Amino acid sequence: MAQKFVLRIPTMTDDRSKQRAVHTVARVYGVDSIDVELKENKMTVIGDMDMVVAMKKLRIKFCKVDIELSGPAKEELLAEEEKY
């Protein structure tokens, strides 16, 4: 079952740090999609992956990473299907 995690990375302030964060999370097995909001320093990750592994890799690069939201991503997929 796909999980949705919203992460806050305070040190992600420019395009280069955004690329580093996306590249780091994309290497984790099971990631389906990554969405980054640079103005709010937030990253949304959806997929069937081990979030502990992703957090460890991000903390090596960025030191401070906070989890704002975690839960199933099924609700969002159902909402998209109802639109069509």
Question: Total domain count for the chain?
Answer: 1
Q: 16-55 pLDDT, tens per residue?
A: 999 999 999 999 999 999 999 999 999 999 998 888 898 8
Q: Tell me the residue range of the domain where 39 lies.
A: 3-83
Identify the CATH number of the domain in which residue 32 sits: 3.30.70.100
The CA distance from 37 to 28, in Å, is 20
- Residue 35: is it exposed, middle or buried by C-beta count within 10 angstroms (0-12/13-18/19+)? exposed
For the whole prediction, is pTM greater than 0.85? no
Confidence band (pLDDT; 50, 70, 90) for 75? low
